[in-house]
Amino acid sequence: MQPRDLSATSPYVPGRGIEEVARDLGLDPDELIKLSSNENPHGTSPKAVDAVTTRANEGLHVYPKAAHTDLTEKLADKWDLSANQIWVTPGADGAIDYLSRAMLEPGDSVLVPSPGFSYYSMSARHHHGEVAEYDLSKDGAFQQTADIVLDAYDGERIVHLTSPHNPTGTEWSREEITTLLNAVDDQTLVVVDEAYGEYSDRPSSIGLLSEFENLAVLRTFSKAYGLAGLRIGYAAVPEAWADAYARVNTPFAANELAYRAGLAALDDDDHVDHSVETAKWAREYMYENLDAPTFESAGNFVLVDVGDASRVAERSQEEGVIIRDCSSFGLPGCVRISCGTREETKTAVETINGILAEVAPT
């Protein structure tokens, strides 16, 4: 037998892991610097590690229930929402699925950015939806505005926005988001993905939930909180349809350790502040010191126009610095470099400048 026709769905292409690259190159994983997946170079909050260890010692034989309630309430408190407006999910990717489940009828369309995060379209197709794209242009420095989306908009059921945007680093302004929310059909859900929200100085769109019923905002513990390996995130949604969660939620999808880690990480301001400060330093360092054009970023990564992305990424990997070739995002000229620690970032810039000199001598 065969699965259903999945030919329209391209497989998700993750950044390559340290272990697999080390194995390929015959290197010690400790010799590699991984700046390909926008992970937190300072690791996990020590408080979260403690909480996980404690919980594991106490036993994991019970379904996660109280911890789910606790995390939901803590997040509702943080954002000044009621608890049912927080949909806790296995990663922000899980939240994308839950919104697809809640909104899409077979054949409904979603509108996604190009270049952009590939899971928006994958999730729509999993839910028997169709996909249309709006283009962010390199010549326009990947600027994001209501006009750009509305030019492509044709009554889609879901419009996905990313702010800060992956892989370009650009942001939406509050004014442009409001313009878009007012302009689309009231049965069109605008999803603002704030996976990198902690690194931005702009206010979260969660603040608009009291004004708009066609808005959902995604957040994750994977980036600034350093919990990518545990898979925990959430959507913040309007009161009007918040109760749909109970109908679309996979029972116990997020796990006990993830809830405990999330609860502890929310209390560890030092870890988040330090992580954000390092990322802001690293962004500036890359703009100033890379010998190739960079795009200003509000995330924990910088997009760099290197000309031949696959060659530069491959050579960089051979030199021990793993970066993201953006060809799979539709940007064959660009690489995305995650912000490392100060030391890692300096080494990466030096390595990549060496490669740029060799690939395109000036």
Interface residue list for ligand PLP (CB under 6 A): 91-93, 117, 162, 166, 193, 195, 220, 222, 228, 233
Q: Which residues pair with 44 in a beta bridge?
A: none
Which CB sits closer to ligand PLP, 156 or 193?
Answer: 193
Least separation in angstroms between residue 90's CB and ligand PLP is 8
Which CB sits closer to ligand PLP, 37 or 351?
Answer: 37
**Beta pairing class for 301-305 and 334-338:** antiparallel
Least separation in angstroms between residue 123's CB and ligand PLP is 11
Which has the closest alpha carbon to 34: 22, 47, 49, 17?
17
Task: In whole angstroms, give the CA distance from residue 92 to residue 37.
Answer: 15
Within 10 angstroms of residue 128's Cβ, the number of other Cβ atoms is 13
Structure tokens of 347?
């080494």
Which CB sits closer to ligand PLP, 294 or 338?
Answer: 338
Which CB sits closer to ligand PLP, 160 or 315?
Answer: 160
* Closest residue to ligand PLP: CB criterion: 91
Amino acid at 120: Y
Least separation in angstroms between residue 332's CB and ligand PLP is 20
Which CB sits closer to ligand PLP, 228 or 248?
Answer: 228
Least separation in angstroms between residue 295's CB and ligand PLP is 16
Q: Which residues pair with 190 in a beta bridge?
A: 159, 215
Structure tokens of 285?
């360092």
Least separation in angstroms between residue 217's CB and ligand PLP is 12
Do residues 217 and 209 make contact, with C-beta atoms less than 8 angstroms apart? yes
Task: In whole angstroms, give the CA distance from residue 26 to residue 159.
Answer: 44
Q: What are phi and psi of 247, to 5 degrees?
A: -90, -25
